[in-house]
Amino acid sequence: MIIMEAKKDTKGKKSFIERPVGILKKQLGYKREFPHPNLARVIIPTLSYEGLDCSGEKILPWSLLKLFESCDLNDFWPFQDDPQGSHHESVIYSLNLELEIDEAMYRTDTPKFPLIIDSTFKYVKRSSRLVENILRHAEITRPYAKMSGVDVNMDPETRKPKPFPTWWSEHYNFPTDGQKSEFKLPLKPKENVFISKHRVYFSDTDENKHMNFTVYVRFCYNSFCENVLSGKYGADFNVYEIGLRKLQITYLKECNLGDILTVESWEDDVTKDAYYFEMWNGADLSATATMSYHNLSEKEKSSRL
């Protein structure tokens, strides 16, 4: 039997609810704590085997995104009048996100279990929010990874922005002001832009019936590796010797089952450590992204995951 416990503050107001959400999340073995109404802390037993890249023996960046998603604060929202009921009906669309991965995440000489994810609302506006997620270990000072991004609460029927519940925002007194998060690409050059094709399969979709936000990252990452291996750019890189350092991605239009997507990418002609991506679904620009990488040495390779 699953016991759902509603937490209350000293004034008797309803707070976050500690309960498993979703079929998969019920089996993850997470422990949830709420040190502050604006902070949800999740204790993770360890990284899953599926989170590792067998070809390069590295952490997969999209598996980290899925890990952060599995700790989404949205899972703890109760109804005002039914605190032990399901969370309010919502569809959360990501507008953009930034992922930073510390080099320590790729090493075996740093502890990997248990891990901690702290999720904090940086601001909440009428129908959008900026959430910061930090992955760390209690014995390590520096965070292993950080993901922050803006998403929008959407009406599941109209797919238009839907205001967050007023009582919810007022009760937690979330910040309403914050720096705007926006990522822009430099002008695409006329030469040295390379193309790869990707098909959206059923396993790339989620319960919202469109391509999951993590798959955009996987398609760009795989496109990058294909171009490096074919000698089109990244001459100093061995794709088996690198790890993603920083990702910035902006989501523009959804993609669906069966779509054939075209990823156009190019290398920064000045710094040589940034790569830019445009993902096209026919004539529609679906996403843009920037990626940079850790260039791991042979010595580091012997000790990383």
Residue 67: its H or E element: helix 61-69
pLDDT recorded at residue 156: 75
Most confident option among 43-47, 88-92, 246-250: 246-250
Residue intervals of the chain classified under CATH 3.10.129.10 are: 1-181, 183-305
CATH number, domain 183-305, options 3.90.700.10, 3.40.50.2300, 3.40.50.300, 3.10.129.10: 3.10.129.10
- Residues 6 or more apart whose CB falls under 8 angstroms from that of 138 comprise 114, 116
More confident residue, 220 or 15: 220
Most confident option among 81-85, 142-146, 204-208: 142-146
pLDDT recorded at residue 2: 26
Name the one residue in this structure whose structure tokens are 């740093």. Answer: 110
Q: In this structure, which amino acid lies at residue 164? A: F
pLDDT tens string 235-245: 878 888 889 99
More confident residue, 173 or 253: 253
Query: Taking 80 as the threshold, does the pLDDT of residue 208 lie above it?
Result: no
Tokens encoding 16: 């976050």
73 confidence band (pLDDT: 50, 70, 90): low
Tokens encoding 282: 């026919």
Helix (DSSP H) and strand (DSSP E) numbers for the chain: 4, 15
Cis omega (within 30 of 0) on the bond before 114?
Answer: yes
Buried b (16+ CB within 10 A) or exposed e, 69-104: bbbbbbbbbbbeeebeeeebeeebbbbbbbbbbbeb
Asked whether the beta carbons of 89 and 78 are under 8 A apart, the reply is: no
Tokens encoding 19: 């309960």
Residue 289: its H or E element: strand 284-295
Estimate the crossing angle of helix 61-69 against helix 213-229, to 10 degrees. Answer: 170
Query: Taking 60 as the threshold, does the pLDDT of residue 262 lie above it?
Result: yes
pLDDT recorded at residue 7: 37
Asked whether the beta carbons of 259 and 199 are under 8 A apart, the reply is: yes
* pTM: predicted TM-score of the whole model, two decimal places: 0.85
Between CA 280 and CA 261 the distance in angstroms is: 6
Query: Taking 60 as the threshold, does the pLDDT of residue 14 lie above it?
Result: no
Question: Region 62-79: what's the mean pLDDT?
Answer: 75
135 confidence band (pLDDT: 50, 70, 90): very high
pLDDT recorded at residue 1: 23
CATH number of 1-181: 3.10.129.10
Q: In this structure, which amino acid lies at residue 190? A: K
Query: Taking 80 as the threshold, does the pLDDT of residue 6 lie above it?
Result: no
Between CA 214 and CA 208 the distance in angstroms is: 14
Q: In this structure, which amino acid lies at residue 75? A: D
More confident residue, 84 or 237: 237
| pLDDT above 90 coverage of the chain, percent | 49
For strands 275-281 and 284-295, give the pairing: antiparallel
Question: Region 113-120: what's the mean pLDDT?
Answer: 93
